[in-house]
Structure 1
Amino acid sequence: MKTTTLTLLVILLMLPHVTLSQSQQQVLTVLVTTGDGAPRSGLTVTVQAENFRETAVTNATGYAVLRQLSPGTYQVTVSLQNIELIRRTISFPETSFIREVAPLSTLYAKVVDTAGKPVPNFFVNLLSPTGLVSVSQRTNSTGVAVFRDIPFSNISSIGGVYRLSTVKQGIIIGSVEKSVEKYVEEVTISAGLVNANFSLVDSQGVRMKLSASLSLRAGNVTESVDVVDGFASVTQLISSAIVGSYNTSLSVKLSNKDVVVYNSLLNIDAYGSFTLSPDVGELVIKVLDPDGNPVKGVGILVGASGYGNFTSGVTDQQGQFSVGIVPLSKVVGDYQLSVFRGRSRIQVEQLSLSESKVIKEVKLTLTKTSFRIVDYTGSPLSSAMLSIKDTVTGRTVNTTIAAGEASADFFPGPNEVSVTYRDRVVFQKVLELSSEPQEIRVTSVNFPLSISVLDSLGQFVEGLRVKVYGDGRELLNTVSGSSPLKITLELPADVVVDVFSGENLLARERRYAAGPEDVQIRFVDMVALGNVLLPIQLLASVFLAAILACLLAAAFIITRSGKQR
């Protein structure tokens, strides 16, 4: 009980001292604002004295509170990312509240090209003399790069004026120095960039609708763009004032190989339009027959030495095929033109292209050969007409056949050949024609017709009247014999064969005969006995009756012999 009382007495004696210490404790409050008076958060406030250091960070309202100070002299600093912005000495607690404006600037750097137009989407580099500040920002759509929280140039750790620069392909294309002294600064960087337009024209100055690749090279700088319909535009090109003249070249594709058709040095140091005249020309192939008439539908294949065949097509109604715009022969050598009918190459020519437009006329050479036309028997066919029709161009040649001989000129290759005899087409076929003589056998003229009258066993039936009609006209009236009846048909015909016994029509056969025919009239239920046709059923009955009679006779003989024993 005495111990508890003593402890309470000690506590009561200490209370006045604790109350007095708390009432004497004070804090240092620091408020940091921006140049426009807004609170500045995120800055580090440091209070230092001998054997003492305390730090705090400004909050969203710009305040930092330091609570561990005792009366005395202190160094107070405000820093941004280890860059000391403010330093001052205070006596505490005489000074317990500090208000500072952070020496930080928002710097707007605008990049413009040689024509004063904004340059978007380019990086701008900002560097302090001491290298302590090094930052990059990309320009926006208006060509402006925004740098925030840039320490003033008069801060000792910064070292003076800043250097701003913009770079393309590793080359500085614009730079400026700027002393940052205000809370908002603006600066303009003039970049050595130009825009250039390129148009392609022929030797007459006429615009060419050519597709090509445009390449610009100056030192380590390379720009490549596609030329579409004879026009190309290059933007944000580094000025020749920085990199020197550009080696400008144009190339086109030929068999998937690049062919350079223009090469020159151009000084491009300002906005401008440039006209280029490449070594190319427009090539059109026009195919004519020997009479100068256009030939449609023939195939064209175009090639060049070292490049192979690079394009092909078919002539139109005017006999033309447009190859397009291709390099001049002084660049790739002469061109080789091959003319085809179907798969047959019928002509080859060389062409030297030396002008901006060339229409090359190719006059086809006809092939002439002789024809020998015979009928089925091999005899010469006379008083007939031979026609040769080009299956591709439609060109048709008609000539008269005399004593089985005729001649005609044509384009080599597949042709439709037909023979007309007595106003009827008796032969028609597509033949591969060349200069070699041709023999055509017309099997539908003077061909044999064979007629056989047979019974069910395949035996010839003799003594029946046979009449043969061709296209309604009687050709034969005779009696069947032990061999086929033969006649010769001069032309194809609808054939009717009638077989009579007396006045009775026994059989009729119809068919169209356009070549050698073997007509068989078979009586499938009859058997020929001499000149008489008997039904198989009747013969079977007679045969069975004979067998039965024989069996009865045998049985009778056997029975009689038994009785005699």
Structure 2
Amino acid sequence: MRRWTILILLLIFMAHAQLGFGQQVSLVVRVFDPSGNPRAGVELIISNSTFRRPFETTAQGLAEFRLLSPGTYNVSATVDGVVVASATVNYPETTSLNLTLSIQNIELVVTDVDGKPVEGVSVELRSEQGPVIRRGSTDSNGRFFARDVPFSNLSQVGPYRVTGTLQRVTVLNSTINVLPESREYRLGSSVVGVLVNVLDFFGKVVNATVRFSAELLNFSTAVRTGASVKIPSSSIAGKYAVEVVKTYGQLRPEVVLLREETDLFRSLNLTYVLDVSDITIRVVDDGGDAVRGVQVLLESERLGELASGVTGARGEVTFSTVPFSEGQPGAGLYKLTAFKGSIQLSALETGVLPGETTITLKIDRIEAQFSLTRPNGAPLPNASLTMTDQVTARTYTVRSGPDGKAVLRLFPGIHNYVVSYGGVEVAQGIIDVTGPSLHIRVTQVDIELRIRVLDWFGNRVKDAEVSATWGGEALRFSRLDDDTLLTYVPVKGSVRIDVYLNGVLAERRVVWVGEPTLYEMRLRGAWVGGQLLSLETVSSIIAGAVLALLAVSIIFSWWKKPSKP
């Protein structure tokens, strides 16, 4: 009986237990931000003295805790390890809970001493009593945005310390309280804005760099002409050393054009007028004519080599921002040197004074004598010599005298030359004019022409009279040992050759002579007994001879034929 009683009680207990489990409900927690929007990704912790379970909210801001035992629980939400919302619930009497987070998205606006926004400040927001840290940089409007910042009235947070650095210098150190009613905080920094303009002596903008240095902070920054820059104010930096610097070419050292000290307690527009101006160097020859293509080197007694440039079509080269000989920085005397290639043509030492804009540099030409000779070394008179300077592009033309000499005033260095004779170009090349006397051997004049007169069968016609004409000018002949006639053609061109036999024109030819030539002139005929027989006559004689030989052969054959008895 007792066994049955125990069995019945056990079945009743199991039925009640199954009924209780089947009807259990979850604890649902909804999480909102201060604006009433669901917050996803928030860590919730439900706990009591013997139990602890975490849960991260869904995209709808929900957390569901299931299979909880009845009892009292603490539900808390944390951000950066700080409890930003909490509540105590009795379960299962309470199955639904709403939590609003004590956090805020805030905006910090960093301004300079004049209330204008400062870009590029590195900001750190740190809670004094907790681990909350936000870092970032201000944008072009001076704004820095920090998300999910816990309120300062939370026990784990307290006030926030805001620090800002500009190029590693602390320019901002403030304290703020993040409260529900505040979203924007304007914070003034020890920063000033400086707009820099640099002008030359005549008010023209100078392309230079302005450098600001504060020894007290080991701080330095630079800005180009016409630009603005934000820097720590003198309230924390002390006096600034200001330098205006410029580099005159890629491989040349930096030149300090101005140096001064100044205080910067507020934003300013700074304009510096330098003791500099543009200088034009005009290069002329000893006749006052402009010289193009010449390199001019600009050197200073105190600043060294500053710049170099090449003169244009007007013989001018302009150098920008040239410091005066006196003033700041004071360049001292200048040396101007003109080069053509590696050859120094001229040098001038001079001062550069305020108001002076053009300096003339004169180059003296040298007098060069050119000796033009024929291939045999004899002078070539009345020839035209044209010289072209490869650098300056200057062209000079002169005619040789009876002695074959021509004198020109020109600049030393490499030139192209062309020699013309009789209206024909007979020589060209390159010559380095380095001294007062130069020699040009002209090979395309007095071109050797040999003429040999032959009959049609290659026999020499020794008694032939030959005349040759070039450009209307009769050429003179000399007879060589082999009866070849020799003459010289002044320059390349067409030569008319006439052959006379017994005073009668027998043949005329026109030939082109451009180099030493042996011309064999074959006459149409055979030279026999001091006379030129035509090819027809020769053919008739040969035919008659053949017929005569044939007749003799026939007669001889008949004569030798034996008679019949």
Distance across 2 between alignment mates of 1:412 and 1:510: 45
1:252 to partner: Cα distance: 0.6
- Relative to structure 1, the CA distance from residue 408 to residue 75 in structure 2 (aligned partners, 3 Å threshold; closer, same or farther) is closer
- Provide the rounded CA distance (Å) in 1 between the counterparts of 2:254 and 2:319: 16
Alpha-carbon distance in structure 1 between the residues aligned to 2:85 and 2:394: 99
Give the conservation status (yes or no) of the 8 Å contact 2:477–2:485: no
Contact 2:247–2:254 (8 Å) recurs in 1 = yes
Q: 1:34 to 1:530 in 2, by over 3 A?
A: same
Map of 2:510 onto structure 1:
510
2:246 maps to a residue whose letter is S
* Distance in 2 (alpha carbons) for counterparts of 1:531 and 1:481: 20
AA aligned to 2:220 is T
For 1:217, which of 205, 210, 213 is the aligned residue? 213
For residues 20-64 of structure 1, the C-alpha deviation after alignment (integer angstroms, 9 at most, x for no partner) is: 856997876655543344445524243424x45556555535565
Structure 2 residues not aligned, in runs of 5+: 554-565
* Alpha-carbon contact 1:462-1:481 (below 8 Å) kept: no
State the match for 1:243 in structure 2.
Answer: 237
1:436 to 1:498, Cα distance in 2 relative to 1, 3 A: same
Q: How many angstroms does 1:135 deviate by?
A: 1.9
Alpha-carbon separation, structure 1, partners of 2:97 and 2:246: 72
Query: Separation in 1 of the partners of 2:152 and 2:317?
Result: 73
Distance 2:506 2:276 in 1: 85
CA contact (8 A) 2:421 2:491 kept: no
Structure 1 counterpart of 2:149, one-letter code: I
Q: Which residue is 1:302 aligned to?
A: 297
Contact 2:130 2:156 in 1 (8 A): no
Change in 2 beyond 3 A, CA 1:467/1:477: farther
Q: In the alignment, what sits opposite 2:159?
A: 161
Alpha-carbon shift at residue 127 of structure 1 (Å) = 0.8
- Mapping 1:451-530, distance limit 5 Å: 451-454=451-454, 460-472=460-472, 483-486=483-486, 494-502=494-502, 506-511=506-511, 520-523=519-522
CA 1:370–1:75 in 2, change beyond 3 Å: closer, same or farther? closer
Instruction: Tell me, yes or no, if the aligned pair for 2:279 and 2:322 is still in contact at 8 Å.
Output: yes
2: distance between equivalents of 1:490 and 1:363?
A: 43
One-letter code aligned to 1:195? G
Tell whether the 8 Å contact from 1:285 to 1:321 is kept in structure 2 after alignment. Answer: yes
Matched position secondary structure for 2:204: coil
Alignment deviations for residues 172-208 of structure 1 (CA, whole Å, 9 cap, x no partner): 2223211223254321122333433322222x24214
Return 5+ residue gaps in structure 1 as ranges: 553-565
Query: In 2, Cα distance between the equivalents of 1:386 and 1:144?
Result: 82
User: Quick one: structure 1 residues 191 and 533, their matched pair in 2 at CA, closer, same or farther if it must change by over 3 Å?
Assistant: farther
Q: Deviations over 1:420-445 (max 9, x none)?
A: 78xx6797656544553456677888
Provide closer, same or farther for how the CA distance between residues 435 and 116 of structure 1 changes in structure 2, counting only shifts above 3 A: same
CA contact (8 A) 1:54 1:66 kept: no
User: Is residue 357 of structure 2 the alignment partner of residue 361 of structure 1?
Assistant: no
Query: How many Å apart are 1:8 and its aligned residue?
Result: 8.1
Shift of 1:349: 0.8
Distance in 2 (CA, whole Å) between partners of 1:283 and 1:428 is 44
Q: 2: CA distance between counterparts of 1:54 and 1:344?
A: 88
Alignment partners' CA distance in 1, 2:74 and 2:425:
124
Q: 2:142 is matched with which residue?
A: 143
With 264-273 and 168-177 compared, the bigger mean Cα shift is at 264-273
1:261 maps to 256
Distance 1:523 1:80 in 2: 120
Question: Residues 521, 504 of structure 1: CA spacing in aligned structure 2 closer, same or farther, 3 A cutoff?
Answer: farther
**Which TM-score applies when normalising by structure 1?**
0.72
Q: State how far apart, in whole Å, the 2-side matches of 1:451 and 1:221 are.
A: 95
From the superposition, tell whether residues 364 and 300 of structure 1 become closer, same or farther in structure 2 (CA, over 3 Å). same
1:225-374 map, 5 Å:
225=223, 227=224, 231-244=225-238, 245-254=240-249, 256-264=251-259, 265-277=261-273, 280-295=276-291, 297-302=292-297, 304=299, 311-316=308-313, 318-325=314-321, 334-340=334-340, 345=343, 347-352=345-350, 354-355=352-353, 358-370=357-369
Checking the alignment, whether the CA contact within 8 Å between 1:32 and 1:99 is kept in structure 2 is yes
Deviation at residue 488 of structure 1 after TM alignment:
7.0
Q: How does 1:19-34 map to 2 (within 5 A)?
A: 32-34=31-33
Q: Matched residues in 2 for 1:442 and 1:55: separation?
A: 107
Query: Does the CA contact (< 8 Å) of 1:199 and 1:232 recur in 2?
Result: yes
C-alpha displacement of 1:120? 4.7
Q: Deviations over 1:488-536 (max 9, x none)?
A: 778887531122445775443323568x965533439988677466899
- What code does the residue aligned with 1:282 have? D
**Does structure 2 conserve the Cα–Cα contact (< 8 Å) formed by 1:262 and 1:277?**
no
TM-score for the superposition, normalised by structure 2: 0.72
Q: Any idea what the Cα deviations from partners look like across 1:323-381, whole Å, max 9, x if unmatched?
A: 444566755974452332xx573613144563465433222213235566677887777
Looking at structure 2, the residues matched to 256 and 20 of structure 1 have their Cα atoms a distance apart, in angstroms, of: 93
Residue 252 of structure 2 contacts residue 305 of structure 2 at CA under 8 Å; is this kept in 1?
no
Code of the residue aligned with 1:251 in structure 2: it is K
Equivalence for 1:562: none
CA deviation vs aligned residue, 1:444-473 (integer Å, no higher than 9, x gap): 888876543246897642122333334456
Question: For 1:17 and 1:493, how far apart are their aligned partners in 2?
Answer: 137
Cα distance in structure 2, aligned partners of 1:389 and 1:320: 23
Aligned equivalent of 1:170, options 153, 161, 168: 168
Shift in alpha-carbon separation, 1:438–1:181, aligned structure 2, 3 A: closer
Cα 1:214–1:142, aligned 2, differ >3 Å: closer, same or farther? closer
**Alignment correspondent of 1:191:** 189
Tell me if structure 2 keeps the 8 A contact 1:497–1:510: yes
Q: Determine whether 1:206 maps to 2:200.
A: no
Label 1:76 to 1:248 Cα distance change in 2 as closer, same or farther (>3 A).
same
- Count matched residues: 527
CA distance in 1, matches of 2:513, 2:97: 127
Partner Cα distance (2:447, 2:51) in 1? 133
Separation (CA, whole Å) in 2 of partners of 1:312 and 1:517: 50
Asked if structure 2 preserves the Cα contact closer than 8 Å seen for 1:113 and 1:192, the reply is yes
Report deviation, 1:477.
Answer: 11
Q: CA RMSD in A?
A: 5.1
Instruction: Give the Cα separation in 2 of the matches to 1:480 and 1:57.
Output: 123
- Is the contact between residue 109 and residue 189 of structure 1 (CA under 8 Å) also seen in structure 2? yes
- Overall identity of the aligned pairs, in %: 22
Q: 1:132 maps to which residue? A: 131
- The one-letter code sitting in structure 2 at the alignment partner of 1:299 is V
Change (3 A) 1:362 1:512: farther
User: For residues 377 and 15 of structure 2, what CA distance do their matches in structure 1 show?
Assistant: 152
Structure 1 residues 243 and 485: CA distance shift in structure 2, 3 A: same
Contact 1:47/1:54 (8 A) holds in 2: yes
Output one character per residue of 1:84-142: Cα deviation in whole Å (capped at 9) or x when no partner: 34566676777776655433233222222333233456443211112421122444554
The answer to whether the 8 A contact 1:124-1:136 is kept is yes
**After superposition, where does 1:399-418 map in structure 2 within 5 Å?**
401=401, 407-413=407-413, 414=415, 416=417
**1:401 counterpart SS class:** coil
Tell whether the 8 Å contact from 1:285 to 1:320 is kept in structure 2 after alignment: yes
- Once the two structures are superposed, the pairs formed by residues 84-123 of structure 1 within 5 Å of their partners are 84-86=83-85, 100-120=99-119, 122-123=121-122
Seen in structure 2, the aligned counterparts of structure 1 residues 471 and 350 have a Cα distance that, compared at 3 Å, is closer
Q: How does 1:2-17 map to 2 (within 5 A)?
A: 9=8, 12-14=11-13, 17=16
| Alignment-mate amino acid for residue 349 of structure 1 | A
TM-superposed CA distance for 1:248, in Å, is 3.0
